[in-house]
Amino acid sequence: MRACVTAVLLQLLLSGSQAIQCRAVAGQLHQIDASVGQVFGTNADNMIFTLYGDHWNHLPGSLKHVTVGPSGVWGISSANIIFKLVGANWVQVTGQLQQIDAGGDQFMAGVSTVGSIFCLDQQTTVGFKGPGSNVSWHGIPGVLKYQSCGPLGCWGVNFDDNIFVLLGVSPQNCQGAGGWQLVDGGLSMLEVGSDGSVYGVNSAGTVYRRDEITSRNPAGTGWTELRECGKSKHVSFDLGHLWVITQYNQILDCS
C-alpha cells in the first residue's frame, strides 16, 4: 500500500471553531495502532502492515490485531494466540487473548474472549526474548471487551459499551489502584494516545475525543463529537495524528 497518493481534505469540527483536517491514505485496514512514532495495522485478511515514511510495508505473519508501544510490538492471531515481535520474528507468548494493547509505560494489557482482564508488568515485557522467558500474567478484576493504556491510566469498554478508567498504573503495578471507575458515555472501542488523550468510536460509528484530560484529572470531563465524512469503526492517536479506519476499511490521517 502507498500512503497519501491522493490527499482528500475532510473537515472535522472539534469544540467551537477549532478544526482539524483529514487526508485519505491509500490502502485498506481493518484495525490500526499508533504509538512512539510508529504505525501498525492489519487488514481483513489478517495481513500485517507498518508505515515507513509514506509507504505501507507488508510484514510476514498473520494477525487479526496488532499493537505498538513502549513495551514493543505485540499481536493476536485469529486463534487468539499472543505474539511479540522480537528482532524480525513473531515469537509466541504464553496465554491467549482476543485484544491486546502495548500503550502503557512498558507494560502490556489485554482481554480474553470472555472479557477477563490481564496485564504484564515491565519486567516481563522488557525481559521477554522468546522461549524460556518468564511470562507472569496478572489478573485485574472486572469484565471488558476492549482495553487501552497510556501514561495516566488504562481505559476500557465492556460488552454493554460502558466506559471505565483504571488509575494508579505503573511499570511495576500494571493492575493499578482503586479498581475500575465508571465514566459517562458509551463507546464500542477506544484508544489511549501516548500523551494520555483518549479517542473512541460508538456503536453508530461516531468518533469522540475525551476532553480536559490532565495529570490532576486523568479521567477528563466530557466528550466532543468529531464529525467526519462517513462512519468509522477504529481509531488510534499518536504525535498529533488521529488515525481513523472507516466502516469501509478506508484509512484517514487527521491532524
Q: Give me the number of domains the chain comprises.
A: 1
Residues of the chain with pLDDT under 50: 1-18, 229
| 49 alpha-carbon distance from chain centroid | 15
Does residue 29 sit within a domain?
yes
For 189-214, the DSSP string reads EEEE-TTS-EEEE-TTS-EEEEE---
Q: Classify residue 159: in a domain, yes or no.
A: yes
Say if 2 falls within a structural domain: no
Q: What is the pLDDT of residue 229?
A: 46
Residue 4: inside a domain? no
Residue 131, domain member (yes or no): yes
Residue indicated by cell numbers 480474553: 112
47 falls within a domain: yes
pLDDT of residue 17: 31
CATH number at residue 212: 2.130.10.30
Q: Is residue 3 part of a domain?
A: no
Q: How many helices (H) and strands (E) does the chain have?
A: 1, 25
Domain range enclosing 104? 10-254
Residues 6+ positions from 3 with CB-CB distance below 8 Å: 25, 26, 27, 51, 54, 55, 56, 251, 253
Q: What is the pLDDT of residue 13?
A: 31
Percentage of residues of the chain with pLDDT beyond 70: 91
Q: What is the pLDDT of residues 92-142, one digit of tens each?
A: 999 999 999 999 999 999 999 999 999 999 999 999 988 889 899 999 999
Query: What's the pTM value of the predicted model, to 2 decimals?
Result: 0.91
